[in-house]
Structure 1
Amino acid sequence: MEENQQEEIDLEVKTEEAKKKVTGLLASIKEFMSVLLDIKTNTDRAGAVQTIKDGISMQGHTAWILVFSILIASIGLNANSAAVVIGAMLISPLMGPILGIGLSFGTNDMETLRRSMINLGVMVGLSLLTSFLFFSIPWFQEATPEILARIRPDVRDVFIALAGGLALIIAITRPSPQTNTVAGVAIATALMPPLCAAGYGLAVYNWTYFFGAMFLFIINTIFIALATFVIVEFLNFPNVKYINYAKQKKVVQFASLIAFVILAISVWQFYGLFKENQFHRRATNFVKELKENGISIIDEDEDDYDFNSNTINLVVFGRNVSGEELQKWNEKLPEFGLNETVLNIRQSTDNTDLRAEVKSLSELYTQNQRIIISRDDAIKNKEDKIRLLENELSHFYNNQVPFKEISKEARINYDNLERISYAKRIKTDFNTIDSLTVFGVKWKDKVARKTVDKQEQKLKMWLKVRLKLDTLMVVRE
């Protein structure tokens, strides 16, 4: 009995010790994370305020930098070059007034708000005018993929703008600001391309492009300003003090009202984009299901999914879809979360022309494939011939005798040699053909015959070694 009680006491002691260790570990982790993520310590509030205010103005040099950066971005969009667009964003001064708006709301600074709004308007005006003039030139009015990618906002743009704004204002509040963060945020949030795309919409009188691009720009602007406001409030930036208390109270109330309105608009925009993105994703899954069930769809595009009218419009070919089948698919829409969505299918009772066109394209493709195959065969044959000729040429050069060098060396080694000649003798027994290397030599008349025989035998041996030949003939002239 006493042993059991002692075991229980020991167990309780060990449990308490374990709890203390876990508590200590959690406290250490909490302290570590607090130090790791702390941005209030060593925050340069005065320096951050001055940096933001210095970047608000859009006049003089800054205005010209903006004009040229917009021009570069417009050229990049027209040339469909992402690298050129990124280069333009690196030098653009668009962030200043937007950060000024967020700062002014966080510090109740109406003068900074007034300056920021005026300069933001100037910035937008200059950007639209520059891009409009560029895209008004008829040669530059093609709707490239880079332009089309900037006329329809996406829910991910909200997260990019919010995260980019937070990163930017935190970087500015550091004791030593990170300038590379400003460039990175300018690229990520992509403020400039939507303005250029809006100018393109004005130049080609396409209001859908214009309002879509401006909507994307407004989303980026609002959420960057909102992120700035949140960090300014979190870091307790000092509010601007007014001599007149009543005026200060009105300014605070007005700033709070505007901040609330902007927050409400931001939430509404985010919700709208989220619902539209959700609708497109569900519609895509539904159409994928249609295809898997043998429905052939042509000219499929995201414009077929109309979020505003809650409809899916498809054009099908091949077999006709019966009314019962169409109703069946309409009834299946709620399974994909597409409640009250209407499926509209357009089909032709006579698709003979379409089939003929598809057949013609198929035959043309087959013909082109044959041409490509025959061309490849011709190229292969030519390559084989070239390879054969190269081998024969190599064999020819390998069998050649360097007669000029041989004659010089022979003259040095054999003083009694008067002249030397060289030839290839080809012989056959009518079954095989063979070639033989033949050297003709003439010795000086005054040399004794015995000496000539000895020198000639020595010359023959030297020639075999020098030319790496097993057989050769030396003929006395």
Structure 2
Amino acid sequence: MLCSKALFIYDDAENPKVQTVIAFAKNNCINLEQLSIQAFLEQPGRPLDFAEHVIALCTDADLAPLIDQAKSLNFSLGIIPTDSHQTRLREWFLFHGKTDEHIQLAFSTSTKPIDVLRCNDEVALGSIMLGQTPFLDQRSRTYRKRTESTLHRIFYFFVVLWGGLRNLFNIHPFAITLSVGEEYSVKTAITGMVSIENNVHNAAARLINTSISIQDGKVSTLLIAPKSISQYLSFLFKASFNSDKKVTRLPNSMSYVRSNYLRVESNTPLTYYVDSQKREAQSIELELYPEAVHINLPEAYYETQGGQRGGKDTLKLENLPLNEQRLDMIQQRLPLFTNALEDDFKELFVQLRRNAQSSSSFVALMMLSSLIASLGLFLSSSAVIIGAMVLAPLMSPIISLAMGLLRNDHSLMKNAITTIAKGIALALTMAALIALIIPITRVTPEIAGRLHPNLLDLGVAIFSGIAGAYAYARESIMKSMPGVAIAVALVPPLCVAGIGIGWWDWQIISGSALLFTTNLVGIALSASLTFLVLGYAPLVKARRGLALSSALMLAIAIPLTWSFQSIYSVWKVEQKVNAMFMEVHGKTLHIEALQVQVGLKETYLKLEVSSNSEVTYSDLKALKVHLEEQLKTVVRLDVTPRISL
């Protein structure tokens, strides 16, 4: 049903749609009064004596003041876009149809009420932005064109990523007092804020892991508050990769508020943007007026609505920095990693201090695990050795040592080093006693496997240290500690060294001792770095301990690198030899390498050579010459000939 009379306002009399609207009104017997938009906004009261329904042929810029007047003077509003390129009317209010459809809708009497958001007594149609909002600021042409092609999307990604990284070390959270509703108020610090009303498909809305409804009686606000540069980087990449799809979880540097009233106050002027228009004030007051204006909008606009109107306010503010110590810290300079406050790690620190102390339980478990590991080494039983790894308590004081190095805590380091030294002495003693008691001096495969450590063993130690520190820092995954103990295998190399002492074999002692030292230093350094990343000490305080650990690791890396190079050289020879077969004296010789030792002057090969006829001495001499040509070194052969029938 169409209205019987209306006020038609427009500014561009040359626009052909003006005559189309006038003709439509005449054909439908609608009494139409005409006026310019500017004149109407200057004196809206008198024209409204003629009609309480206003038809506006308007631009995006005209929409907010018209809705403001409609709220104040209680008239209904019909909208006709001046052209087809108006972003707000098309994207926010879904005016996608033809002009005839827009005119028909504008004169309809079936208007529906919509919510109106006011920011400091100014109508905000789409969003309000405050501070630094990388990836969320959609005022740029680059953002609007990003969906036109793959090239535009890639260009947008690099532009905004570069913009975020360029300001990386210039981020300064600013202090605010945040008030939500009538009761909740808190002092915090943020780097940016985005409040969303009709613009629910923007990048900010996709970072909220809940559905936003346009007309739900609430305004949704996203608060950006990273506690460190690393957390800001995490937000940066997450926002980038999720700029066009919703996330399942709110990022750690963000908080979310859904309320009909929100106020942000600061001691200094705040620069903010209302629908891309720059404003400045010391306080920002957002108030949503539910169903405040009757306006004719496309049915598609209302079909997108979902969720429940009204209801309780939603406050997801657990990620906001609230502690005064943290607020002071991040306002002075945003740290590289999020610093844990003393209250955050009090329980962990108590546990690590307890683990650094030598107790009767530690001594008992150390002795038992050493005895079991030593017997497992003699038996060459992996299952027995794994059982000893799980039982060994040596990982705990090493993690305590890592925290002591990080925080430069001399008392914690001293206790941890003392406990580790006791554990080492107990393991060496128990293993040496077992070696003296058992009248066998055979190097089993399990013993031999711990005599030649290399860089791969250092890698195992580093990743085990990361896992151990993370497990201690996150109580929920402490059950993973046995797996860490098995992976790093601290006690078996100690027991191999003890067996070497019992046999007085320097080669066994040195090789296994190097493996244990590799594990110890690798775990301590990587655990310290993990605690640093998790924020348990500032980088300035951790420099000395990290420098010492790094120096030790570099010293250990030298023999490990040489050992790894030796293994790599052996592997290359094995690859060449095992893939080799040759024709000699009318026979085909198939070769398999059983043992390879690469020396400086010659390479020792223990081979198995098979043929379908007898292999003679002259055949092997020819094989030796061929191998020396292929390997480009002097070869010493130990050959087992076989006949394949």
Normalising by structure 1, report the TM-score.
0.57
- Contact 2:406/2:542 (<8 A) preserved: no
**Pick aligned residue for 2:462 from 162, 166, 184:** 162
Counterpart of 2:604 in structure 1 is: 313
- Contact 1:132/1:203 (<8 A) preserved: yes
> Is 1:333 matched up with 2:631?
yes
Q: Residue 576 of structure 2 aligns to which amino acid in structure 1?
A: F
Q: Separation in 2 of the partners of 1:223 and 1:325?
A: 45
Counterpart of 1:230 in structure 2 is: 529
> Is 1:282 matched up with 2:572?
yes
Q: How does 1:99-248 map to 2 (within 5 A)?
A: 99-139=399-439, 141-174=441-474, 176-238=475-537
Structure 1 residue 125, shift from structure 2 partner = 0.9
**Pick aligned residue for 2:370 from 67, 70, 89:** 70
Q: Separation in 1 of the partners of 2:250 and 2:440?
A: 54
Q: Note closer, same or farther for the CA distance 1:321–1:58 as it changes in structure 2 (3 Å cut).
A: farther
Identity over aligned pairs, percent: 22
Q: Note closer, same or farther for the CA distance 1:46–1:15 as it changes in structure 2 (3 Å cut).
A: closer
Q: Structure 1 regions of 5+ residues with no counterpart?
A: 1-5, 7-11, 241-248, 335-341, 349-353, 367-477
Q: Separation in 2 of the partners of 1:327 and 1:166?
A: 50
Q: Separation in 1 of the partners of 2:628 and 2:251?
A: 54
Counterpart of 2:49 in structure 1 is: none
Count of residue pairs brought into register by the alignment: 324
- Contact 1:48/1:172 (<8 A) preserved: yes
> C-alpha root-mean-square deviation of aligned residues, in Å?
4.0
Structure 1 residue 59, shift from structure 2 partner = 3.5
After superposition, the C-alpha distances for 1:117-137 in whole angstroms (9 at most, x for unaligned) are: 222221111100001111211
Counterpart of 2:636 in structure 1 is: 345
Q: Structure 2 regions of 5+ residues with no counterpart?
A: 1-83, 85-141, 158-202, 207-237, 254-336, 610-614
Structure 1 residue 108, shift from structure 2 partner = 1.3
- Contact 1:155/1:277 (<8 A) preserved: no
Q: Residue 241 of structure 2 aligns to which amino acid in structure 1?
A: I
Q: Note closer, same or farther for the CA distance 1:20–1:289 as it changes in structure 2 (3 Å cut).
A: closer
Match of 1:161, SS state, is helix
Q: Rg bigger for which structure?
A: 1
Q: Separation in 2 of the partners of 1:49 and 1:227?
A: 18
Structure 1 residue 233, shift from structure 2 partner = 2.0
Match of 1:300, SS state, is strand
**Pick aligned residue for 1:255 from 542, 545, 562:** 545
Normalising by structure 2, report the TM-score.
0.44
**Pick aligned residue for 2:562 from 263, 272, 278:** 272
Q: Separation in 2 of the partners of 1:114 and 1:33?
A: 45
Q: How does 1:418-437 map to 2 (within 5 A)?
A: none
Counterpart of 1:399 in structure 2 is: none
> Which structure has greater strand proportion?
2
Q: Note closer, same or farther for the CA distance 1:130–1:87 as it changes in structure 2 (3 Å cut).
A: same
After superposition, the C-alpha distances for 1:340-397 in whole angstroms (9 at most, x for unaligned) are: xx3322479xxxxx87xx79xx9xxx9xxxxxxxxxxxxxxxxxxxxxxxxxxxxxxx
Q: Note closer, same or farther for the CA distance 1:222–1:295 as it changes in structure 2 (3 Å cut).
A: farther
Q: Separation in 2 of the partners of 1:34 and 1:156?
A: 37
Q: Residue 358 of structure 2 aligns to which amino acid in structure 1?
A: M
> Which structure has greater helix proportion?
1
- Contact 1:283/1:312 (<8 A) preserved: no
